[in-house]
């Protein structure tokens, strides 16, 4: 998780800051702000829907539909399609002490769960075994830098300790005041490499589907580390994975699960870094194409959507089959009807002329027709 060789220190710092800023917004990813008056509910943004992917994230100058995939979209084609590397974050969280150890060891099987160091009811740090050089630890108490002014936040102060691997797999533990006691939550997550098929609709990138991949994006580990740095700083000032503010409303909306909050914010932190990196690498390659080795192409292209409903309930596939079938039917009918005799030229039989033909009289046309034995024939 050292600085990528493709970026200098200034650019690497900019990429780290993008992910760090996303992590600092932890407090905006949870909670459930509801109102007693249903008519006023529309003026609030329920965070459960934000986490559920019904809203967007604006990171690194690009808008994304919220999901659990970290990837960097390229280009700005309307309805543009592309294929880019990414990862999917899959998390699990629990505040049950009997499950905490198993959740932590699901990612770090040889490491015990860190223990919070308490002074009465005040958190003073976390006790953990030495961290290997290839991993990174993030400690909310260490990030504070011993600032005495932090003590003024009182009960709003939370604690967070996280450990992350180069592949972006990791785990964290949070300690939050809960009355006279502290509530401890343990989470772990895995980053699964994926090939993301994305589309840009109304300048908003969204993932359509993914395929399993074998290669991780080169900067995903450091991006996750930077996102966690921001999350621990936000946690120290009261941000939480748990819903904080909640009032009774009708109809009630369920709060997001801590695992959902964690998946979405880690994915957004990855999107921020990978968007910057992909655009920089793309521009750099175009400027020095002759000097660089061949690379994977994003296959950026555009498409016109035939159906506004997309492929919901496989309606897109049905539309394709129907359109293809009707085209084949039309060609068959053309081939089948071509040998039949027909009137040549462009001529329209009017109502008055039809009556004239019915009386076996001539009509004022280049060709003269009449009805013979119930059939239309040219008069010679």
CA–CA distance, 325 with 6 (Å, rounded to integer): 50
| 95 part of a folded domain | yes
CA–CA distance, 29 with 194 (Å, rounded to integer): 24
The SS3 of residue 175 is: strand
| 86 part of a folded domain | yes
CA–CA distance, 40 with 260 (Å, rounded to integer): 26
Handedness of CA 303, 299, 68, 144 (dihedral sign): negative
Contact assessment for residue 45 and residue 57, using Cβ atoms and an 8 Å cutoff: no
**pTM (global) more than 0.75:** no
List of residues 6+ apart from 238 with CB closer than 8 A: 27, 153, 156, 157, 158, 244
Largest CA distance in the chain: 116
Helices then strands, each counted (H, E), the chain: 8, 13
Distance of CA 18 to the CA centre of its chain: 17
ω into residue 352 within 30 of 0, thus cis?
A: no
Task: Give average pLDDT by consecutive 10-residue segment, the chain, 380 residues.
Answer: 82 94 88 39 43 72 92 79 92 93 95 86 84 90 55 67 95 85 92 92 88 92 96 89 62 76 95 92 68 54 52 76 93 85 58 69 61 67
| 215 part of a folded domain | yes
Element (H, E) at 271: helix 258-287
Hey, what's the torsion of the CAs at 154, 158, 161, 162, to 10 degrees? -150
Write down the pLDDT at residue 51: 58
Write down the pLDDT at residue 224: 97
Write down the pLDDT at residue 155: 56
| 267 part of a folded domain | yes
Contact assessment for residue 159 and residue 172, using Cβ atoms and an 8 Å cutoff: no
Handedness of CA 177, 183, 266, 233 (dihedral sign): positive
Write down the pLDDT at residue 183: 87
CA–CA distance, 224 with 1 (Å, rounded to integer): 10
Q: Give the residue carrying structure tokens 């780290």.
A: 16
Pairing of strands 159-164, 170-178: antiparallel
| 297 part of a folded domain | no
| 92 part of a folded domain | yes
- Burial track 353-378 (b if 16+ CB lie within 10 A, e otherwise): beebbeeeeebeeeeebbeeeeeeee
User: How many CB atoms within 10 Å of residue 7?
Assistant: 18
| 366 part of a folded domain | no
| 375 part of a folded domain | no
Question: How many structural domains compose the chain?
Answer: 1
Q: Which domain holds residue 110?
A: 9-291
CA–CA distance, 61 with 275 (Å, rounded to integer): 9
List of residues 6+ apart from 96 with CB closer than 8 A: none
């Amino acid at each position: 998780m050292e600085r990528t060789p493709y970026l200098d220190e200034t650019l690497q710092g900019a990429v780290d800051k993008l992910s760090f800023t996303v992590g600092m917004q932890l407090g905006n990813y949870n909670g459930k702000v509801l109102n007693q008056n249903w008519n006023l509910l529309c003026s609030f943004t329920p965070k459960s829907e934000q986490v559920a992917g019904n809203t967007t994230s604006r990171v690194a100058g690009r808008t994304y539909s919220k999901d659990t995939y970290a990837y960097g979209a390229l280009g700005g084609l309307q309805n543009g399609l592309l294929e880019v590397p990414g990862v999917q974050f899959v998390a699990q969280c629990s505040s049950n002490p009997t499950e905490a150890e198993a959740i932590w060891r699901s990612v770090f099987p040889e490491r015990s769960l860190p223990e919070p160091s308490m002074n009465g009811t005040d958190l003073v740090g976390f006790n953990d075994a030495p961290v290997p050089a290839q991993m990174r630890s993030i400690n909310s108490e260490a990030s504070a830098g011993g600032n005495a002014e932090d003590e003024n936040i009182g009960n709003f102060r939370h604690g967070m300790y996280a450990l992350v691997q180069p592949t972006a797999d990791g785990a964290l533990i949070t300690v939050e005041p809960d009355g006279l006691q502290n509530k401890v939550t343990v989470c772990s997550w895995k980053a699964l490499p994926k090939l993301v098929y994305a589309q840009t609709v109304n300048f908003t990138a969204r993932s359509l589907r993914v395929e399993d991949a074998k290669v991780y994006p080169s900067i995903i580990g450091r991006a996750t580390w930077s996102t966690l740095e921001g999350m621990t700083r936000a946690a120290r000032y009261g941000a939480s994975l748990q819903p904080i503010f909640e009032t009774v409303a009708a109809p009630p909306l369920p709060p997001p699960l801590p695992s959902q909050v964690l998946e979405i914010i880690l994915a957004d932190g990855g999107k921020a870094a990978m968007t910057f990196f992909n655009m920089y690498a793309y521009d750099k390659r175009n400027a020095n194409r002759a000097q660089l080795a061949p690379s994977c192409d994003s296959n950026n292209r555009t498409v016109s959507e035939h159906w506004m409903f997309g492929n919901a309930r496989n309606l897109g596939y049905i539309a394709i089959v129907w359109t293809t079938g009707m085209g084949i039917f039309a060609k068959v009918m053309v081939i089948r009807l071509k040998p039949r005799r027909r009137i040549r030229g462009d001529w329209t039989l009017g109502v008055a002329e039809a009556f004239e033909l019915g009386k076996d009289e001539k009509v004022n046309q280049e060709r003269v027709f009449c009805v013979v034995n119930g059939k239309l024939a040219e008069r010679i």
